C-alpha cells in the first residue's frame, strides 16, 4: 500500500479517530477537546490538499484510484478530491468558530464529537467507491444531522424540526436503496467503476420487462431531491434554523448540496435517462423560483438564508438537468463557501443592526427606504432598454465563444446562457430604475463589473469542466441526454424571452405611472395577494401539519377499534 492509498483512507478515518479520542480522553477538559478536534481536521485538510496537488501534477487525464478490498472501497477521482477540500475547509472553519460560540452551551465535548463524526461521514460519502459504502455514508449523514440539529434538548422547536428533517431524509434514503438494488441486480456489480463500465456497454438491461437504468436514475433523483430541499420536499430546510448556527454552516459542506454530488457521482447512469434529466430541470426550476421569492418575504435572517439556499439548490439541480454536471459542482462549491460564511456572520449582523442600521443617508437610501424623490437624470428609455437587452447577450456570447466555440451547439448550454442573460439584464434594468445624478457613470461601472465577472466565470467554469470530466465524450453525452426536440426547444426559448421582456415592460410601466403605491389599483391588489401567498409560504407547511394531525387522529381511532390501547 503506497502513500496515496494511505492518504485516501485517512480522509474519513482521521475525523472518525478524533470523534473517538476526544470524548474518551478529554471529556473533563472542554477547551483541550476542542483543540484536539481542530488539530485532527487541520491534518485532514492537509491530506485532501496534498492529494489534489498530486493529481494536478500528474495531469487532468490521470486515472482514478480505487482503494479497497474486492468490490468495496474508496474512489479517488477529481470529484472526490474537489469535494474533500471543500468539506475539510468548511469543517475547519466551523470547528474554529464553535470554539467560542458554543462555549456556554451544554454538551460542548459531545458537540465536537458530532462535528467530527459528521465530517467523517461526508468524506466517506464523497469518496465511496461502491454502492454499499455510499448508502451507509448517505444514511449516516442524515442520522448525524438529526443529532446536531437537536443538540440543544432544551429547545422543543429544534427537536421537532430535526425530526421533520429526519423523516424527509428517510424517504429519500429508501429511494436510493431501491436504485442501488436495481443496479446491482441488473448489472451484478457493487463497485462504481465496474458498474459504470457495464452500463456504458449495455444501458438497456431490463428486469421483469422494466428498464433498469431509467428507473434507478429516477429513484436516485428522488433521493437527491429530498436531500437538497427540492419542491415539494423543501419545507424542512428553512425550519432547521433553530439548530446551532455552526450546524447551519456545516450543512453547506456536503449535506444540503449532496443532491448535486449524487447527480455527478451517478452521471454515467443519468446520461442514459434523458426523461429523468428533464424532470430534474423542471423540479430545479420551480424550486429556484420559489426559494428566491420566499427569501424576500422573511423577517428572520437565518430563515431568509435558508430559503436562499433552497433557491440555489434549485439552480444546482436545474444545471444537472441540463447536462451541465460540472457546473453544478462548481456552483455547490462556490455557494457552500459563500453561504457558510453568511451563516457564521448572521449573529454579528443581528447584533450590529440592533445598535445601528449602518445605512448611510445617501440618494439610494432616501429613494428606497424613505420614498423621497431626489435630483436625478434619466437615460432615455429606448436607449436604456437596448443596453439592458443587448449588452449582457453580447458579453455572454463573446466570452463563451472565445473559450469554446462549440458551446452553442448544446441546448443545455444555450439555456444556461439564457439564464445568464436574464440575470445580467435584470442588473442593468435595476440600475436604470435607481436615481442617479450621473446615470452613464453608474451604467459604465456596472458594465465593467459585469464584464469582469462573466469573463472570470467563463474561464473558471470551462477549466473546471475539463478537470472533473477530462473525457469529452462523457461531457457531450450529458448535454445530448438533456436535449429535447429542436422545434420545441426554439418555441420554449422564444416564449420565455417574450414573457420576461413583457414582465420588464409591465414593471417599468407600473413604476413610471406610480401604480405600485396607489391604494385600490389592480397592481396594488395583486401585489398584496402575492405577498400574502409568499409570506404564508404557499401554505405547504400548513398542509403538511394538517396531514400529520389527520394521520395521528386516524391512528388513534384504529387503535381504539382494534383494542390495541
Domain boundary among 332, 358, 384: 358
Give long-range contacts, CB 8 A cutoff, 24+ apart: 460-463. Answer: 460/330, 461/326, 461/327, 461/330, 462/403, 462/404
Contact 402, 457 (CB under 8 A): no
Q: If you average pLDDT over residues 356-375, what whole number do you get?
A: 50
Task: Tell me what pLDDT residue 221 has.
Answer: 93
For the chain, give the percent of residues with pLDDT over 70. 80
- Asked if residue 522 is part of any domain, the answer here is no
Beta strands 65-69; 72-76: pairing state: antiparallel
Please state, rounded to an integer, the average pLDDT across all residues of the chain: 79
Q: Are residues 66 and 155 in the same domain?
A: no
Q: What is the mean pLDDT of residues 467-472?
A: 82
Same domain assignment for residues 421 and 495: yes
Q: Which three cell numbers stand for residue 278?
A: 428533464
DSSP string, 35-63: HHHHHHHHHHHHHHHHHHHHHHHH-TTPP
Q: Using CA atoms, how far apart are residues 306 and 292, in angstroms rounded to an integer?
A: 10
Q: Give the pLDDT score at 371.
A: 47
Whether residues 101 and 124 share a domain: the answer is yes
Q: pLDDT (tens digit, 9 = 90+) per residue, 301-360? A: 777 788 888 888 888 898 888 888 888 888 888 888 888 877 777 666 666 665 655 555
Q: Which of 77, 103, 129 is the last residue of a domain?
A: 129
pLDDT band of residue 68 (cuts 50, 70, 90) is confident
Has residue 517 been placed in a domain?
A: no
Write down the pLDDT at residue 110. Answer: 85
Position 410 in a domain: yes
Residue 564 within a domain: no
Same-domain pairing of 91 and 145? no
Domain co-membership, 364 together with 415: yes
Is residue 552 in some structural domain? no
- Asked if residue 401 and residue 269 are part of one domain, the reply reads no
Whose CA is closest to 11, among 71, 91, 70, 72? Answer: 91
Same domain flag for 331 and 281: yes
Residues 187 and 303 in one domain: yes
Sign of the C-alpha dihedral computed for residues 371, 375, 381 and 385 taken in this order: negative
Q: 206-207 and 210-211: which strand pairing? A: antiparallel
Task: Please indicate, yes or no, if residue 21 is contained in any of the structural domains.
Answer: yes
Residue 41 has which C-alpha cell?
481536521
Q: What is the pLDDT of residue 35?
A: 87
Q: Residue 211: CB partners within 8 Å, gap ≥ 6?
A: 204, 205
The most confident of 43-52, 396-405, 435-444, 544-553, by mean pLDDT: 43-52
| Rounded Cα–Cα distance for residues 203 and 273 (Å) | 9
Would 524 be classed as within a structural domain? Answer: no
Q: Range with the lowest mean pLDDT among 55-69, 146-160, 370-384, 405-419?
A: 370-384
**What is the rounded distance in angstroms from the CA atom of residue 79 to the CA atom of residue 168?**
26
CA angle, residues 529, 533, 535, in degrees to nearest 5:
115
Same domain, 104 and 153: no
Q: 271 or 350: which carries more pLDDT confidence?
A: 271
Question: Total domain count for the chain?
Answer: 3
**Domain endpoint, select from 496, 512, 528:** 512
pLDDT at site 373: 47
In a domain, 532, yes or no: no
3 state DSSP class of 66:
strand
Q: Are 329 and 303 within 8 A, CB to CB?
A: no
Question: How much helix, strand and coil, in percent to the nearest 5, is found in the chain?
Answer: 75, 5, 20
What's the domain range around 271?
A: 130-358
Residues 380 and 413 in one domain: yes
Residues 225 and 351 in one domain: yes
Tell me: do 313 and 391 sit in the same domain.
no
Amino acid at each position: 500500500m503506497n502513500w496515496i492509498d494511505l492518504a485516501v483512507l485517512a480522509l474519513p478515518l482521521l475525523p472518525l479517530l478524533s470523534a473517538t479520542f476526544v470524548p474518551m480522553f478529554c471529556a473533563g477538559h472542554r477547551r483541550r477537546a476542542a483543540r484536539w478536534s481542530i488539530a485532527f481536521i487541520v491534518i485532514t485538510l492537509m491530506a485532501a490538499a496534498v492529494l489534489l496537488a498530486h493529481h494536478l501534477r500528474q495531469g487532468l487525464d490521470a486515472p482514478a484510484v480505487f482503494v479497497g478490498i474486492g468490490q468495496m472501497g474508496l474512489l479517488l477521482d477529481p470529484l472526490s478530491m474537489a469535494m474533500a477540500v471543500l468539506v475539510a475547509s468548511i469543517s475547519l472553519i466551523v470547528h474554529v468558530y464553535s470554539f467560542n460560540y458554543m462555549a456556554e452551551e451544554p454538551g460542548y465535548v459531545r458537540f465536537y464529537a458530532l462535528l467530527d463524526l459528521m465530517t467523517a461521514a461526508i468524506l466517506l460519502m464523497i469518496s465511496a467507491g461502491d454502492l454499499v459504502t455510499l448508502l451507509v455514508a448517505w444514511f449516516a449523514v442524515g442520522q448525524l444531522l438529526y443529532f446536531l440539529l437537536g443538540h440543544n434538548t432544551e429547545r422543543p422547536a429544534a427537536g421537532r424540526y430535526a425530526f421533520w428533517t429526519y423523516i424527509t431524509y428517510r424517504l429519500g434514503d429508501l429511494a436510493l436503496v431501491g436504485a442501488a438494488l436495481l443496479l446491482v441486480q441488473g448489472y451484478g456489480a457493487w463497485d462504481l467503476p465496474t458498474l459504470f463500465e457495464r452500463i456504458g456497454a449495455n444501458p438497456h438491461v431490463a428486469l421483469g420487462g422494466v428498464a433498469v437504468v431509467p428507473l434507478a436514475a429516477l429513484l436516485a433523483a428522488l433521493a437527491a431531491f429530498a436531500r437538497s430541499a427540492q419542491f415539494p420536499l423543501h419545507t424542512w430546510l428553512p425550519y432547521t434554523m433553530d439548530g446551532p448556527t455552526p450546524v447551519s454552516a456545516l450543512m453547506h459542506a456536503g449535506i444540503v448540496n449532496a443532491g448535486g454530488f449524487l447527480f455527478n457521482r451517478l452521471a454515467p447512469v443519468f446520461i442514459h435517462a434523458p426523461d429523468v434529466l428533464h424532470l430534474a430541470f423542471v423540479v430545479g426550476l420551480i424550486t429556484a423560483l420559489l426559494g428566491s421569492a420566499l427569501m424576500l418575504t422573511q423577517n428572520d435572517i437565518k430563515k431568509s438564508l435558508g430559503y436562499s439556499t433552497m433557491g440555489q439548490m434549485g439552480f444546482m439541480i436545474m444545471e444537472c438537468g441540463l447536462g451541465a454536471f460540472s457546473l453544478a459542482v462548481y456552483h455547490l462549491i462556490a455557494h457552500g463557501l459563500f453561504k457558510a460564511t453568511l451563516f457564521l456572520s448572521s449573529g454579528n449582523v443581528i447584533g450590529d443592526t440592533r445598535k445601528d442600521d449602518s445605512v448611510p443617508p445617501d440618494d439610494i437610501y432616501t429613494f428606497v427606504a424613505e420614498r423621497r424623490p431626489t435630483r436625478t437624470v434619466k437615460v432615455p428609455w429606448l436607449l436604456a432598454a437596448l443596453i439592458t437587452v443587448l449588452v449582457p447577450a453580447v458579453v455572454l456570447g463573446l466570452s463563451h465563444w472565445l473559450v469554446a466555440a462549440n458551446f452553442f451547439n448544446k441546448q443545455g448550454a444555450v439555456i444556461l446562457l439564457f439564464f445568464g442573460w436574464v440575470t445580467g439584464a435584470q442588473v442593468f434594468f435595476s440600475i436604470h430604475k435607481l436615481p442617479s445624478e450621473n446615470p452613464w457613470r453608474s451604467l459604465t461601472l456596472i458594465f465593467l463589473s459585469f464584464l469582469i465577472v462573466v469573463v472570470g466565470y467563463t474561464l473558471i467554469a470551462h477549466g473546471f469542466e475539463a478537470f472533473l470530466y477530462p473525457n469529452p465524450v462523457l461531457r457531450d453525452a450529458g448535454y445530448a441526454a438533456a436535449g429535447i426536440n429542436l422545434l420545441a426547444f426554439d418555441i420554449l426559448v422564444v416564449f420565455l424571452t417574450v414573457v420576461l421582456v413583457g414582465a420588464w415592460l409591465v414593471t417599468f410601466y407600473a413604476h413610471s405611472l406610480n401604480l405600485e403605491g396607489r391604494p385600490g389599483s389592480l397592481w396594488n391588489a395583486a401585489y398584496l395577494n402575492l405577498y400574502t401567498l409568499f409570506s404564508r409560504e404557499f401554505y405547504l407547511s400548513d398542509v403538511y401539519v394538517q396531514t400529520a394531525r389527520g394521520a395521528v387522529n386516524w391512528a388513534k381511532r384504529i387503535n381504539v377499534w382494534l383494542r390495541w390501547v
